[in-house]
Amino acid sequence: MNQKQVICYVILALMFILAGSSNEIPDTCVDRIFVPLHGANWSFHYAGIFLMIIIYTCFKQLNLQKENAFFKTRWRRIIATFLFLNLSTHTANLTVQLYKSFSSDLSSIYLNRQESHVSVNGRETELKLEGQLELKNCSNEEQWFYLTITMPTFVEEAVGMKDVIINQAFNLPAKTKQRITIDETFNIQMSPYYSFNSNAYEYTLFNEKSEIIFKGSFDQYLFH
């Protein structure tokens, strides 16, 4: 193995890490380094493009150093790039769950963002929250907690509420995945009708001993 091959493998290992994210923050590591560009009502995530170009270039260079059937043609390198990114994301999720399994407090809870969402609907003097969170207790101990939902800025301005505390205690048995249903109604002072459905709200799980915060998407908070 020559020096160029070693450099390529080191870069690929770094890209593998940067393509992942922690469960508490939805943005990938590379997005936190190369911050997306934002306008009045748009955002551009260029970091992912850099990531794909670098990975593709490494595969191409590895094939030049030693011909490899997986990287021999352009289309194979493109497919390998997407498979690499998909594998890194999946591996990052499994790694996070493994890390959380060593915790004994609320830090052991994993949020499946793809299966979690909240809908906020306001009409006249009523605010209704509906949705569900898919949570997994990765520890060997039962976890109980209360839930606070932090509103995006535009909802906060409309209803005059920032943090909504769900008036219910939740329990997650050890090593269990469970969907929590949210169905709450609040009285508000505003009258216009509005509706917002997203998986980008910020969720805080807390009890007497600890808390964990799952941040919302920066784009959703900024542009709505």
Going along the chain from its start, the domains and CATH numbers come out as 1-99 (no CATH), 104-218 (2.60.40)
Would you give the DSSP letter of residue 108? G
Q: Is the per-residue pLDDT at 112 higher than 60?
A: yes
Question: What are 168-203's pLDDT values in tens digits?
Answer: 899 999 999 999 998 888 776 655 556 666 656 889
Amino acid in position 108: S
What token pair was written down for 148?
């606070």
Question: What are 96-105's pLDDT values in tens digits?
Answer: 999 999 999 9
Distance between CA atoms of 119 and 185, rounded to whole angstroms? 12
pTM for the whole thing? 0.81
Burial of 110 per CB tally in 10 Å (0-12, 13-18, 19+): buried
pLDDT for 158 equals 63
Residue ranges of the alpha helices (H) in 2-73? Answer: 3-18, 29-33, 47-65
Question: What are 35-50's pLDDT values in tens digits?
Answer: 878 766 667 788 889 9
pLDDT for 33 equals 85
Give the three-state DSSP class for 146.
strand
Q: Mention every residue, 6+ apart, whose C-beta is less than 8 A from residue 77.
A: 56, 59, 60, 63, 71
Lowest mean pLDDT segment, chosen from 10-14, 28-32, 71-75, 216-220: 216-220
Lowest mean pLDDT segment, chosen from 32-46, 106-120, 205-219: 32-46
